[in-house]
Amino acid sequence: MQFKRRTHTCGELRESKIGERVVLNGWVDSRRDLGGVIFIDLRDRYGITQVVFEPAFNKEAHELAKKLRSEFVISVEGVVRNRPEDTLNPNLPTGMIDVKVDKLIILNEAVTPPFQIKDNIDVNEDLRLKYRYLDLRRSKMQKNLLLRHKVYQIVRRYFDENNFVEVETPMLMKSTPEGARDFLVPSRLHKGKFYALPQSPQTYKQILMVAGYDRYFQITKCFRDEDLRADRQPEFTQIDVEMSFVDVEDVFEIVEGLMKKLFKEVWNKELELPLPRLSFNEAMEKYGSDKPDLRFELEMVKLNDVFANSEFRVFNNTIEEGGIITGLLAKGCGDYTRNQLDVLTNFVKKLGAGGLIWMRVREDGLEAPVAKFFSEEEKQALIKQMNAEAGDLIFIISGQWNKALTIMGNLRLEMAKRMNLIKEDAEPSLLWVTDFPLLEWDDETQRFYAMHHPFTSPRVEDIPLMDSEPAKVRARAYDLVLNGNEIAGGSIRIHDSKLQSKMFEVLGISKEEAEEKFGFLMNAFKYGAPPHGGIAFGFDRMVMLFAGENSIREVMAFPKTSSGLSLMDDSPSTVSEEQLKELHIKLR
């Protein structure tokens, strides 16, 4: 196909080019055929330029232009011209000019697309995903991917400037237990053996510290074979960071510097440093989440003291069993109807709560189905503790510490929505959550699991507790939270092989098992491991938030559906018997 190389993109012509002869290439965004004159909006990723076909200017081009339809790929040659004054289009950067065409080449025709290529379309996401190449033509998607590109560049530049080395780590690695399910890759050369795709480059980056690279980063894909969410895909991108001879504060300093840059360059906002910090316990008891959204107040209140001697059996039992009674004050919601309250009760029950206690605060006291169970002193103490006034609504949930707080945390977010507390223009909330527990008890398997991962260092002063009260040991672990989303998490690692052995022991991992699964890492540590620590960012999630989107799919070029399917290329798919045979695999 003969066509002239473009002289300009569709986004760059301005009044200064009037009179110049230009060649533009692009897609037909829309056509307006007025009979005697045809207007085409020509589109590429740089913008839109209106090109005009007039029979008086060139009859042949005008005749051919009648055939043009949406998404045809064309090349036009003509003269830049100023528009008549009353036909300027202030909505387009190129709206002061148009191009009068005397030569049109149709480079490719296009069938009618299944949905219109424009912003603010209302199309089901599955259709967009099936025709992703059309969806990606929309300026909103182009904007998102260009933002993503910008963030890559800022991140790379920042770490480079701070002496970090970018190192690629393997995509085919050893399957490690503890944590998410691995995606497995069968080995053809080694019958019955499998590689795993990395859930994270964790072990490699620690080994790079042993190897003396001192400061490492990588922007890399990770894979986890778990169920999906709006902010979780089976393959996703992580900014992986590790540093030697550091403590928590050093990691924070580097990360805060990056966030300051991103806030400035993406949002043009000055981020104030140092970032606020909350301990895990505080975050849970005040906000019912380890990734609290602090764009609004609405704090939860611990009520164990208020009901310490309560006659109310539910509270009684909770306190006896070491649980928590947590309250939430919904300002001015005292007029909620029984029906609204039933909906909210249902909401918490679905999350596993036994029930939801609510009380309307009146001038003359508390109005609630359970009011009769409480003494006047308790009621007064409750009102005082909650800082409640007439016209308010109090919610109370009691139960096992983690569960009750998590459910109340969800109710907190739900109420924030209902009370419209998250304003469109609210300042973003970025903070550290620190002092996570090192271990988490699992009822099902009756053992402790590492909350972060088994290489996470406990706080030095808590090490003696590892034997006596493992659940109380705090980790040198931290999460970075933006607007209620965990965007990064990391820790200072164990670099001492004795402490690491202790950790495995607490986790119920035998010496033999540890040797088999993590022997290579333990072995490396024998040859001089520096103290080290690091962090990993959920890159997609971070870009999602910077883009103001609600799903990471909006900032990924080719995401999967929530059932893990790729609708465009129809994967996963079956494979041939020959392929299976080569891989020594028999389906059952």
C-alpha closest to that of 344 among 406, 404, 405, 395: 395
Single out the residue of 110, 114, 272, 371 in contact with RNA (rule: CB under 7 A).
114
# of chain residues touching RNA (CB under 7 A): 74
Single out the residue of 179, 257, 355, 470 in contact with RNA (rule: CB under 7 A).
179
Q: Quick check: helix, strand or coil at residue 21?
A: strand
- Binding flags for RNA, 1-40, as an x/- string (CB under 7 A): -----------------------------x-xxxxxx-x-
CB of 236 to RNA, least distance (A): 10
CB of 536 to RNA, least distance (A): 8
State which of positions 441-470 bind RNA (CB under 7 A): 449-454
- Binding flags for RNA, 352-391, as an x/- string (CB under 7 A): x---------------------------------------
The residue among 334 and 399 lying less far from RNA, judged by its C-beta, is 399
Identify the burial level of 162 via C-beta atoms within 10 angstroms of its C-beta, where 0-12 means exposed, 13-18 middle and 19 or more buried. Answer: middle
State which of positions 134-163 bind RNA (CB under 7 A): none
The residue among 226 and 427 lying less far from RNA, judged by its C-beta, is 226
CB of 489 to RNA, least distance (A): 8
Cβ count within 10 A of residue 185: 16
- The widest CA-to-CA distance across the chain, in whole angstroms, is 94
Cα-based distances in Å from 487 to 280, 295, 373, 481? 16, 16, 44, 6
The residue among 334 and 458 lying less far from RNA, judged by its C-beta, is 458
CB of 579 to RNA, least distance (A): 22
- Binding flags for RNA, 209-248, as an x/- string (CB under 7 A): ---------------x-xxxxxxx----------------
Single out the residue of 12, 54, 414, 505 in contact with RNA (rule: CB under 7 A).
54
State which of positions 323-352 bind RNA (CB under 7 A): 350-352
268 binds RNA (CB under 7 A): no
| Tokens, residue 181 | 């399910």
C-alpha closest to that of 382 among 357, 401, 399: 357
The residue among 117 and 303 lying less far from RNA, judged by its C-beta, is 117
Beta strands in 192-296 (DSSP E): 194-196, 215-223, 235-244, 277-279
CB 293 within 8 A of CB 287: yes
What is the distance between the alpha carbons of residues 477 and 493, in angstroms, rounded to a whole number? 9
State which of positions 180-199 bind RNA (CB under 7 A): 180-181, 199
CB of 241 to RNA, least distance (A): 14
Question: Could you tell me which residues come within 8 angstroms of residue 582 by beta carbon, excluding any fewer than 6 positions away?
Answer: 188
Cβ count within 10 A of residue 360: 19
- Binding flags for RNA, 528-567, as an x/- string (CB under 7 A): -----------------------x-x-------xxx-x-x
Between strands 215-223 and 235-244, the pairing is antiparallel
Helix, strand, coil abundance in the chain, percent, nearest 5 = 30, 25, 40
